Structure 1
Amino acid sequence: MSLFHALPRLAPIGLAAVLLLLFLPPDAVAQSQSTTLTGTVRSAADESPVSSASVRVTGDRGSTAFTDANGRFRLEGVSAGAVRLRVERIGFLSREVSISVDTAAPRPVDIDLVPEPLLLQGLVVSASGELQRRVETPASISRIDADAIREVNPTHPAEVLNRVPGVWVSPTSTEGHMTAIRQPITTKPVYLFLEDGVPTRSPGFFNHNALYEVNVPQSGGIEVIRGPGTSLYGSDAIGGVIDVSTRAATVSPRMDATVEGNSLGFGRLLASASGTRNRDGLRLDLNLTEGDRWRDDATYDRQSLTLRWDRELGQGQNLRTTVAWSSIYQEDPSVVTRSDLAENPGVNYHPITYRSVEALRVASRYERRTENTVLQVTPFLRWNTLDLMPSWMLGFDPVVFRTGHNSLGLMTRVHRQFLPGMRGRLTAGVDLDRSPGSRVEDRIDVVRDQGFAVAWSRGDRIYDYDATFLGISPYAQVTLNPVVPLHLNAGLRYDRVGFDYRSNLAPLASGPHQRPADTSVRYDNVGPSLGAALTMSPELNFFASFRESFRAPSEGQLFRQGSAANTVDLRPVRARSTEGGVRGQVGGHVVWEVAFYRMDVRDDILSFVRPEDGLTESVNAGRTRHQGIETGVSLALPAGFAADVSATRASHRYLEWSPRGNVSFAGNRVEAAPRNLASARFRAPLPLARGHVEAEWVRMGSFWMDPQNENRYEGHALWNLRMEVELAQGVSAFGRVLNVADRSYAERASFNAFRGEELSPGKPRAVYVGLRWGWGP
């Protein structure tokens, strides 16, 4: 069914949003008609605009204005004469200023806010959907800001995300990836990927490579919640939540460009144009990338465009619209043997395999702020297609397929202050998603020459079906501050999700490509969350939380039955997580954190590789347990020196899993689950120029490659170097060397009895150089 046919069904959603808007409490209505005062709020530290600051006249219960993404505000109903403005924003010291208002010709007001002098506090959004101090958040949450992303200039998301304690992202190709956050390194649908708080894909059509559909190097920041998300997040958010934000427009016109290349054939152009006129701020980001060519017949081409439009509507209202498009084509290289990993890692046994991705997302968030209430309504559209000949299946089940889905959805959220004596805040909302999708898959016949796949022809059609995902998820979350140092959090989320499945081929009950009959499946889940954060002093903060989450089976797990006896009866994955931690700082120069967690997962959906033919069966495992400790330390040293270290020690075990009657993995460690992960960086200023140099060490520990715990990958450690120097005003040169020692290693490693050891080679030494220009203030 097309998106246009779906619109009548979603009309009640739009009506509900309109009614919610119309029946806001009376404090949402502006009162005075005297005059309108305009102005800008900036940070006193660097003169950057301060968004979401409240501006009001003291002693007046009239309107309150809120600054937009460019720090601008319009305060209506201001009386003539001497008035006193109060300006407040989380993360800054509140300020009051006295001004004289002339109703005939009111002059704009510029106000500077001083940042709070607390290195520990930090500001995050993902935990509650609203800006809040990190010390008030009972969750393991980290933020990588836009400046850090710019300095790293990542060619792969792993280069920035692996700096976060407890996070490991393994590249699978140029920008493809597998993720490990409180889980093994996996492609399973246990992570929720967002852009500006909106899921990049429908929960029913998970893609473990979702970050390559997002323009990470030009983003405005990344937030990572480790472990199940708060009540704001439903299916997928078991291992963690990764939210990538877009960048707002600059106040004055500005253009930026970055050109770079490396010794392995990589080339990239990043270009941006930005500015604000009157009430409209516009930003355009362009990413043109040509990937490394160090592996045989493995090209990569990417084009991405992000457009963001911020519109100030007045009376505390604003509109933010984003359009994000990515087109990616790559030839998908094969895994290699142990001997080739050491001697010829660039070899590609499958030069015929490929991947083609098209992704388009449009989201428009309407926000209305009053003194006690924030309303956010975000309708969104998504179009995703993937054409793939999977390299990893070419040796035992060669196929080519096209899959995709379209989405029409709505996210509605209200934040409301209550119980002023306890600083109570209620966040309530509902997420709706309707995503029709499809899969068409054919067997292929492969021509081989001396072990290399050199040609192919299309064979029989094995799958051809439509599957429509439907989801509705209301939730509520309450935060209280009963006494100054204590912040309490409680939430509840109800998810009702499912699929309507219709096959264009007859059901098939035998063979390696079985097909289920037409059916509908539905899943329900009620997930509670509890948390507490205790600030003993500005230098010491404790937190603890309990959360239950779930993950409904994805489209491929349910309806691409394969050789399994039954997949449409797969049960949802359910997780129960407890965690605690402490965050602190010493003298304003050392920031540290330690988090402990334990997560029990039942009905985990695992892939059992049949030893007789190498085919996989998706089955519900009994239980798995994931527990560990995550640590991070950052040091701001004198004279511009800095260092940071992160380390993780984890255990991942099967408590119950018998894929066959005579096979049990209970008590074994989960495969592809390193016990140890670590990284460290040291940064120093350049002695004779304006710039810096950074040395980085990253380590992945050893792990079992099979559930039998008989074959082990030894792990690896790598050194990287980065440098940037300013050449002139607005012009800088940079360089980096990845894998300085040119070590042979595997980004992922597995073993099964039918195919043996399979290793995905990591990139050899790569030397990058580039130039960055900026025009405008």
Structure 2
Amino acid sequence: MTIMRSDKFLAGVLAGSCMLGLVAEVAAEEAVAATDFPAALETVTVTASRHRQPIYGQAISASVLDRDELALLGQQHIQQGLARTPGANFARGNGLEYLPALRSPVLSGAGACGSLLAEVDGVPLRAAGFCNINELFEAGIETAERIEIIRGPAGTLHGANAMHGVVNIISPSAQQDLVRVGLEGGPHDYLRNTLSWSRVADANALRMDLSLSGDGGYRADSGFAQQKLALRHQTSAGAWQVSNSLAAANLNQETAGYIAGEGAYRNRDLSRSNPNPEAYRDARSARFASEWLYRSGRGAEIKIVPYLRYAEMEFMQHFLPGTPLERNRQRSAGVRSSLQAEIAADWLLTAGLDAEITSVSLLELQEHPAEGTEFLVETIPAGRHYDYRVDARLLAPFAQLGWQASDRTHFTAGLRFEQMQYDYDNRMLAGRTAEDGSECGFGGCRFSRPADRGDSFRNWSPSLGMTYQLAADHQAFASASHGFRPPQASELYRLQRDQQTAELDSEQLAGIESGLRGAFSAFDYQLAVYAMRKRNVIFRDADFFNQSRGRTEHQGVELALDYRLGQYWKLGVSGSYAEHRYRDRRELDGEPLFGKMLESAPRHFGSARLTWLRAAGSRAELEWLHQGAFYTDPHNRHSYPGHDLLNLRAYWQLDRQWSLQLQLLNLANAAYAERADYTSFAGPRYFPGEPRSLYVGIAGEW
């Protein structure tokens, strides 16, 4: 398949939707009212509209990993589940780390963090403006009820950072008497214990989920230990349904770095090595949220969710000269509120107000002199590089109006205004001196600290959507949407060399898409075609200045199929074809980037799953994961050839209480790289993937 570029492709997206819709309508035997939808269209999501609604009314691309699928997966890492989602191409790092990709290249470096919104039960894991690119490692994926994914811009309802999409981890309900214990073991001393307990007593329900995991690591000095605890209390207060949740997580991880050399990941001995045995990450977090839900007799629904968050992290930045240590601490509080109500016949209003206050401190400290060339030693002195505090305030009203124009046609239009205010307090000498004020050679120190200042960012995020019911089992949709990302505090205040002020604007992503979804007698399908343009892309130029003049374009096709091959067999396919290109006039090393493919952006990737289903929940699955080739540098001179992996999974319900799970990952024992890139200093670099691995788990439930 060849994808056209630029304006021709943009114009063709909505036209293609109309053509597909006409073909499906002609083929349909009978048109039906919008209230008669098949199960394939009745999948309920919270993330799509911030209220529980079937997906059929939403002019978006959404995916859901349900409880049965997650039980079969038994994922050790969030990437394993998201790999089943069209458009998602997360790159797994060492331990629990990852780099995100959702309708985007694999995001790394300046401007990468915060391009995707990560939530638990609709509350972002991190404060806007203070993201952690690995933040999903805190979420309780081990005991999640389901995972909901929005693909593409979702700024109107979700706000800052919902630029390339949203990943929302949905926690299990407490409304069931339950005791569940699980034990899982695998290679390299991997061990995970889980315990879930819940009780219902009159109007009160309590639940506890505990996960304890540890891994010695495939590579040298790369193990981790993690503990997660989640408590939930559900009750009623008059006409309000109340759900209080408290979650805490602790991670102690030894971190492995890249291995260098062309094709180094193919060398089994080298792939087990760790050039950075000193690197580590210690992270702790706690979150409290109280959801208050009111449903009136006339169908109106009010949701108010106040929340508190705390996070602290210490990690060795082994990827920087001098390997400085970073310590950061975040405290934040906020509320996310929304109202959904019929304001007239066939008109539905969703409106609300989100507000948040945040206080963050950051210290970067280098304990020993830098090693290497005279230039590095002189310009990267030991001592504090940065030491600052930032207080932030966010306020965001939004509204979305839905109109059921006919039995078949539904329109939505929405708008959000969001203001972010930073107050920055530098706790060191301003400028590019060493900590004691002394000057560095070769023109000055590498690190530059702005003087105290305030910064404000205002963003408008509109959206338009339409769904059209073609027939009983088929629906077309089209949308124009917008997402944004205010500059993160680290991009504004961790400057380098001569730069004293980062004149950055919010990144903006505007996109259009169209698609079809529905079901025939034997299979369900989703098809989406999209085109997006991003401006004010933040990058670090050749002078190490943070700039926001970048522009990129993104366009692609996504397909998801579930085909029933009889009584016991099912075939699932998730595929993506996309092109992600530079479209600004900047140069790198004297060469223009316009029209070049972005690095770490394969044109095609996806998965296929052949599943055998039996009664009582037992099932087995053979999974094929495909990663296409991609360039590893901006000039498109170096590349990674891609890879294909096979995984075998089985889940047996032994009796009413006990179940057994088996996972044989990388069945063919392929040599591959989870991540690959290229630098002028080290050449090709890789995070090697693990060889064939067997995981076995047993669980009991009463």
What CA distance in whole angstroms lies between the structure 2 residues aligned with 1:721 and 1:363?
Answer: 38
C-alpha distance 658-739 of structure 1, shift in aligned 2 (>3 A): same
Residue in 1 aligned with 2:661?
734
Give the C-alpha shift of residue 118 in structure 1: 2.5
CA deviation vs aligned residue, 1:365-409 (integer Å, no higher than 9, x gap): 11111023212111100001110102322xx34211101210011
- The answer on whether the counterparts of 1:230 and 1:491 sit within 8 Å (CA) in structure 2 is no
Residue in 1 aligned with 2:504?
570
Give the C-alpha shift of residue 690 in structure 1: 7.4
Q: After TM superposition, what 4+ stretches of structure 1 lie above 3 angstroms from structure 2?
A: 446-449, 607-610, 659-663
Query: Which one is further off, 174-183 or 320-329?
Result: 174-183
Give the C-alpha shift of residue 632 in structure 1: 0.9
1:398 to 314, 320, 323: 323
CA deviation vs aligned residue, 1:328-369 (integer Å, no higher than 9, x gap): 010110100235422221100111110001010000011111
Query: Which one is further off, 525-534 or 723-732?
Result: 723-732
1:530 to 464, 467, 479: 464
C-alpha distance 649-551 of structure 1, shift in aligned 2 (>3 A): same
1:371-450 aligned within 5 A: 371-372=297-298, 373-393=300-320, 396-420=321-345, 422=346, 424-445=347-368
2:208 to 274, 284, 296: 284
Residue in 2 aligned with 1:8?
none
Give the C-alpha shift of residue 606 in structure 1: 2.1
Residue in 2 aligned with 1:20?
none
Give the C-alpha shift of residue 763 in structure 1: 1.8
What CA distance in whole angstroms lies between the structure 2 residues aligned with 1:575 and 1:272?
Answer: 41
- The answer on whether the counterparts of 2:308 and 2:333 sit within 8 Å (CA) in structure 1 is yes
What CA distance in whole angstroms lies between the structure 2 residues aligned with 1:294 and 1:643?
Answer: 32
Residue in 2 aligned with 1:329?
252
Residue in 2 aligned with 1:487?
410
Residue in 2 aligned with 1:304?
228
Residue in 2 aligned with 1:214?
139
Question: Does 2:583 align with 1:655?
Answer: yes
1:519 to 437, 453, 471: 453
Question: Does 2:604 align with 1:676?
Answer: yes
Query: Which one is further off, 349-358 or 139-148?
Result: 139-148
SS in 2 for 1:527: strand
| AA of the residue aligned to 1:293 | G
| AA of the residue aligned to 2:566 | P
- The answer on whether the counterparts of 2:47 and 2:168 sit within 8 Å (CA) in structure 1 is yes
What CA distance in whole angstroms lies between the structure 2 residues aligned with 1:727 and 1:466?
Answer: 55
What CA distance in whole angstroms lies between the structure 1 residues aligned with 2:187 and 2:684?
Answer: 30
Question: Does 2:96 align with 1:175?
Answer: yes
Give the C-alpha shift of residue 662 in structure 1: 3.6
SS in 1 for 2:495: coil
1:627 to 551, 555, 570: 555
CA deviation vs aligned residue, 1:267-289 (integer Å, no higher than 9, x gap): 10011001210001111100100
- The answer on whether the counterparts of 1:608 and 1:659 sit within 8 Å (CA) in structure 2 is no
2:546 to 610, 618, 640: 618
What CA distance in whole angstroms lies between the structure 1 residues aligned with 2:394 and 2:87?
Answer: 30
CA deviation vs aligned residue, 1:24-68 (integer Å, no higher than 9, x gap): xxxxxxxxxxxxxxxxxxxxxxxxxxxxxxxxxxxxxxxxxxxxx
Residue in 2 aligned with 1:585?
519
Residue in 1 aligned with 2:296?
370
Structure 2 unmatched ranges of 5 or more? 1-33, 373-379, 433-443
1:213-252 aligned within 5 A: 213-229=138-154, 231-251=156-176
CA deviation vs aligned residue, 1:178-224 (integer Å, no higher than 9, x gap): 11111110141210011111111101111111110101120111110
Q: Aligned residues: percent identity? A: 29
- Superposition TM-score, scaled by structure 1 size: 0.80
Greater CA radius of gyration, 1 or 2? 1
| AA of the residue aligned to 1:590 | F
Query: Which one is further off, 229-238 or 427-436?
Result: 229-238
SS in 2 for 1:181: coil
C-alpha distance 289-682 of structure 1, shift in aligned 2 (>3 A): same
Residue in 1 aligned with 2:21?
none
1:149 to 56, 64, 70: 70
2:285 to 348, 359, 362: 359
What CA distance in whole angstroms lies between the structure 2 residues aligned with 1:590 and 1:181?
Answer: 25
CA deviation vs aligned residue, 1:461-515 (integer Å, no higher than 9, x gap): 1110001121101000111112111111100000100211010101114431111
What CA distance in whole angstroms lies between the structure 2 residues aligned with 1:629 and 1:637?
Answer: 25
What CA distance in whole angstroms lies between the structure 2 residues aligned with 1:564 and 1:355?
Answer: 30
CA deviation vs aligned residue, 1:740-777 (integer Å, no higher than 9, x gap): 122121111111212322211112211111111111xx
CA deviation vs aligned residue, 1:295-351 (integer Å, no higher than 9, x gap): 101120000011111112243x11111111110010110100235422221100111
What CA distance in whole angstroms lies between the structure 1 residues aligned with 2:636 and 2:322?
Answer: 25
What CA distance in whole angstroms lies between the structure 2 residues aligned with 1:647 and 1:375?
Answer: 38
2:566 to 628, 638, 645: 638
| AA of the residue aligned to 1:238 | M
SS in 1 for 2:104: coil
Give the C-alpha shift of residue 608 in structure 1: 4.3
- The answer on whether the counterparts of 2:503 and 2:547 sit within 8 Å (CA) in structure 1 is no
Residue in 2 aligned with 1:108?
none
- The answer on whether the counterparts of 1:398 and 1:446 sit within 8 Å (CA) in structure 2 is no
Question: Does 2:690 align with 1:763?
Answer: yes
- The answer on whether the counterparts of 2:648 and 2:664 sit within 8 Å (CA) in structure 1 is yes
What CA distance in whole angstroms lies between the structure 1 residues aligned with 2:353 and 2:168?
Answer: 19
C-alpha distance 607-743 of structure 1, shift in aligned 2 (>3 A): farther
- The answer on whether the counterparts of 1:332 and 1:390 sit within 8 Å (CA) in structure 2 is no
- Superposition TM-score, scaled by structure 2 size: 0.88
| AA of the residue aligned to 1:705 | T
Structure 1 unmatched ranges of 5 or more? 1-92, 95-114, 450-456, 611-615
| AA of the residue aligned to 1:361 | R
SS in 2 for 1:728: coil
SS in 2 for 1:159: helix
- The answer on whether the counterparts of 1:120 and 1:538 sit within 8 Å (CA) in structure 2 is no
Residue in 1 aligned with 2:533?
600
| AA of the residue aligned to 1:733 | L
| AA of the residue aligned to 2:283 | V
- The answer on whether the counterparts of 1:158 and 1:170 sit within 8 Å (CA) in structure 2 is yes
Give the C-alpha shift of residue 586 in structure 1: 0.7
Give the C-alpha shift of residue 235 in structure 1: 1.2
What CA distance in whole angstroms lies between the structure 2 residues aligned with 1:164 and 1:428?
Answer: 29
What CA distance in whole angstroms lies between the structure 2 residues aligned with 1:710 and 1:145?
Answer: 41
| AA of the residue aligned to 2:556 | G
C-alpha distance 325-665 of structure 1, shift in aligned 2 (>3 A): same
| AA of the residue aligned to 1:626 | H
What CA distance in whole angstroms lies between the structure 1 residues aligned with 2:680 and 2:567?
Answer: 56
CA deviation vs aligned residue, 1:515-569 (integer Å, no higher than 9, x gap): 1111100001111100001111122110011112211010111111134625531
SS in 2 for 1:671: coil
Residue in 1 aligned with 2:87?
166
- The answer on whether the counterparts of 1:287 and 1:305 sit within 8 Å (CA) in structure 2 is yes
- The answer on whether the counterparts of 2:155 and 2:161 sit within 8 Å (CA) in structure 1 is no
| AA of the residue aligned to 2:396 | S
1:77-96 aligned within 5 A: none
SS in 1 for 2:71: helix
What CA distance in whole angstroms lies between the structure 1 residues aligned with 2:666 and 2:281?
Answer: 27
Residue in 2 aligned with 1:106?
none
- The answer on whether the counterparts of 1:621 and 1:657 sit within 8 Å (CA) in structure 2 is no
| AA of the residue aligned to 1:196 | D
| AA of the residue aligned to 1:140 | S
RMSD: 2.2
| AA of the residue aligned to 1:214 | A
What CA distance in whole angstroms lies between the structure 2 residues aligned with 1:136 and 1:325?
Answer: 35
Question: Does 2:593 align with 1:665?
Answer: yes
